[in-house]
Amino acid sequence: MNVNGKSWNGETVACLKRGSREMCGICGVIGQDDGAALQPMLQRLIHRGPDEEGIYRQAGIALGARRLRVIDPVGGQQPVRNERGTVWAVMNGEIYNYRELREQLLSKGHRLTTRGDTEVLVHLYEDEGFEAFRRLQGMFAVALWDQERRVAWLVRDRLGIKPLYYAIRQGEASGGSSVVFSSEIPSLLEALPDWRLRPEGVAEYLMQLYVPGPSTMIAGVHQLRPGEAMSISDGQVELVRYYCPDETLYHHDQWTIKEASREVLHTFEETVKSHLVSDVPLGLFLSGGIDSASLLAIMAKEHSGPVKTFSIGYEHTVPWASTYRVICLTISCVWLIE
């Protein structure tokens, strides 16, 4: 129902706090492998990317993507390549500063054929190599293939918002390694027929309700750390940190409380605005707490028309409903509850 108690039927909405399982998914095989497992791996990711499927396959590399259309629904098919076909990439997530980066690339003479953020990443890497990853702001998991240098990269965003799991398989012939990766473990296991549980991981989950990274409950399966990249070249695997929070912290010992609060508000507003980049309608999960209410207040300032908000409640738990109603009446929005 909306804030007036009426039912509402509208188009699909990409929520600012994306908690849905419907999101893009990527997977692949890098190294001495024929990539036969790629199709079963992609099948396991259909729920993440119901709109379309894309595959890039060459000797030593197989990349796959299941896509949920959010940015450039028509032209944003994956995998994406540069003009010469020497750099290919698949991505799960969003790069929030891609429009700014796109303008910089166009001014340098790059020819971009889509309005998507994955193509921006490909051309940025073509220009700057590894340093390109440091310039990305957003939530993303990326697999990129540099054909000229014969190197593949797996990259996870600074905060680890988007997942990326991998397993390293030792080659039998030349001693080199191959790497399989995916957005989800069930997909990854399609390429690991002999997988087994890791008892320590099961114990960690039972005690803490999660498994501390980079380990998982599956032996030999790991997750890329936040702000980490992996390079795979000629059977050699290397992990590299491209982002460390300590390197970006401000050190303003002389700030007053007023100055600090002003900077926090400015950063908060800019962050929310950067998250509103989308070619499909946006919405917000509204919990009734200060976090989601603050997000809604900033979003309403930047959004033309009422913001669509969503809440989940249970029968006979009515106290929270009045909180939602007050928020939505104070900040003009459409409220839907399930």
Instruction: Determine the 3-state secondary structure of 77 from DSSP.
Output: coil
* Omega cis (within 30) before 226: no
Is the separation of the CB atoms in 234 and 244 below 8 Å? no
Helices within 235-337 (DSSP H only) = 257-274, 290-302, 319-330
Tokens of 43: 């099948």
95-117 CB burial, b ≥16 within 10 A, e <16: bbebeebbeebeeeebebebbbb
Alpha-carbon gap, residue 195 to 178, rounded angstroms? 16
Angle at 96 between CA 278 and CA 93, to 5 degrees: 75
What amino acid positions are annotated as catalytic residues? Answer: 24
Tracing tokens 């190599």 back to the chain, one arrives at: 129
226-247 CB burial, b ≥16 within 10 A, e <16: bbbbbbbbebebeeeebbeeee
Cβ-defined contacts of 103-112 (< 8 Å, 24+): 110/83, 111/83
Is the separation of the CB atoms in 22 and 48 below 8 Å? yes
Residue closest to 88 by CA, chosen among 23, 153, 132: 153
Is the separation of the CB atoms in 18 and 158 below 8 Å? no
- Cβ atoms within 10 A of the Cβ of 204, count? 17
